[in-house]
Amino acid sequence: MALALSNHAQASEEQFNDALRAANSGNTALLQQYRASMQNDALGYYPEYWILNSNLAFQSPNSIVNFAQRYPQSAMAEKLAADFVEVKVKQGDFANAQSVLPYVTNPDQAEICAVAQVRAKSGDPLVYAEFKDIWLKTDSQPESCSGLARMMLSSPLMTTADRQQRLYAQLRAGQSGLAVATAQTIGLNLSLSQFNQIQANPLNYLWSAPKNNSADHAYLIYALGRAADTDLTTALQSLNKAAQGLPPEIQKYVYRTVGYIGGTTVMKNNFNKEVLNALDASYGAPFSPEEAEIYARQAVRFGNWESILRAIDSMSVNQKQEERWQYWLAKALERRADPESKQSAKMIYQRLAAAGDDYYNLLAKDRLGIRYNEAQDRSEPTTNDLQRLTQDIHFRRAFALRNIRASEAYTNREWNWAVRQAYLKKDDGLLLAAAKRATDMGWYDRAIYAAERTINRHNYAYRYATPHQSLVVSHSRNAGIDPSWAYGLMRQESRFVSHARSNVGAGGLMQIMPDTAKLVARKMGETYNPAALSDANTNIRYGTYYLSMIQSQLSSNPVLATAGYNAGPNRARRWQPEYQSIAADQYTESIPLSETRDYVKKVMTNAAHYGILLGQGPQSIESRMPIVNVRITE
């Protein structure tokens, strides 16, 4: 009887893909049939989800709430509720979104802002204080966040000082239309046609820019921003003249404008100490979170420890508490001569060292002289944990989808949701059971996702999987590189998904670009075969060879080579200092591409963990990150 039930469940689960095809073709009548036939299956809520989602804009809130209550705390109920709120906010239908808010429990950034708009419309006075970062943000963000900022603009809770800061940020960013609207809320009438004239030739405007009133000051800030975006060197040279005769607060924003743009255009303009000087000159006027971060990274790049302290002092309360800025606060305090500062630095390092085993935690351990060895933890799930895994509806859905080879979009969503529910319950045993079963299946990326979220019981063999170990070790040694580094890079590149493909065409375990593979094949005296990159042996062999090759091109420095593997060796070389060597953590923190910056941190952290798992003993992450020497110009 049990076998018959099992076979029935499997047959029912396999209807999922057929029902999905019906959903994609808009066949609601067929979906209704699948809804009936799959109702007792782990995946039985999908046909109803697709029916509701197909015309979400016309659903009643009661239909969404009813679905969420019948499938409580489920992945697709939460997604349906979050999507419904977003749709209703776009329609301006805040009333119908209101009753669905309690079922939105894991929103992304766009959904967070949509929920905030509904809260604001319902009269929640705390919303605007919570979202000051959104209010001052000038780089790209979801439309729901831009809409929230527009709502904040009309709120009496925003002070004149708040509005002025927003205005200056928009002027600095060249957002003339938004600046005109913001200026009107403080009684300042700015001309869009004047902005357009300045945009056409900002340097010409600066030569004779009037400075008599608030409108003149606004046009001047805008002109400097456009000039800096076009010709940073000339804008920096124009700063002192532009600041003459201005009120002190406006002077600071003049310097802020050029300094910020210089800090965000490193890819085009390289690093420039005058940019940091401009940001220093702007200290004292309020910084937005994005401005404070740019200030801090520029200060880190040039090792100006007092500027780092000023930049961190300018951050929001939440921003200051981030591990990265706590680490740099400690390093800056450590450089001061007084014993109190050094003691404060030590206390910060101790807190960071005890807080985990990520990049800044490991760096803090090094500053305290502690060699990291905790990755030897190998806690296993109990028999009861494994039994509970088979009963957990969230994991059952994920494994069912995996077994029928459903789209990763659904499979990973259900898995990540299941992991989140276990994490919220602090259920390490269930997470370890899930990680073990996924590892045994070769589903390494999801095993890692689960194992990373345990709180008290850890298994680093699941967190830092070592598939294809003989290949990784042998090919790394043949290429003359550390196998733990190769593993660290591979984990970050693909999470050991052999069929992984990036949006730019990189493929396989080590995410090798086709042109790179052709180059490596030629250097190895082989004929390039695109299909071979899907083969683990070839992919690892090519990847380790290429990593070794670019390391030799980049001063044999693994930090530079890691950055080069992600962003290209020419960029990694261009980011080297021109006049004085710097510490590798300074180089890493100042990488202008956020993707590459985070990539290097994660790869080096991974390598430290793999060093322990591969028998290299207690680890120091700093030993893997040698000084970055001055770039040699040819």
* C-alpha 419, offset from chain centre: 19
396: nearest Cα among 370, 425, 366, 418 = 418
Residue type, 606: N
Residue 570 makes CB contacts below 8 A (sequence gap 6+) with: none
What gap in Å lies between CA 455 and CA 452, rounded to an integer?
Answer: 9
Q: How far is CA 105 from the centre of its chain?
A: 20
Longest C-alpha distance within the chain, in Å? 90
pLDDT, tens digit, for every residue of 144-194? 999 999 999 988 888 999 999 999 999 999 999 999 999 999 999 999 999
Indicate the average pLDDT of the chain: 95
- The residue type found at 14 is E
Write out pLDDT tens, residues 80-133.
999 999 999 999 999 999 999 999 999 999 999 999 999 999 988 788 888 888
The residues with which 372 forms a beta bridge, in sequence order, are 619
pLDDT given for residue 8 in this prediction: 45
Mean pLDDT along residues 509-536: 91
Could you tell me the two tokens for 50? 């697709």
* Helix/strand/coil for 233: helix
Task: Give the span between the Cα atoms of 258 and 254, in whole angstroms.
Answer: 7
Nearest to 251 by CA among 280, 228, 275, 292: 280
Q: What is the pLDDT of residue 594?
A: 97
Q: How confident is the model at residue 502 (pLDDT cuts 50, 70, 90)?
A: confident
Three-state SS at 472:
helix
Cβ-based neighbours of 338, under 8 Å, separated by 6 or more: none
Q: What is the pTM of this model?
A: 0.95
Give me the percent of the chain exceeding a pLDDT of 70: 98
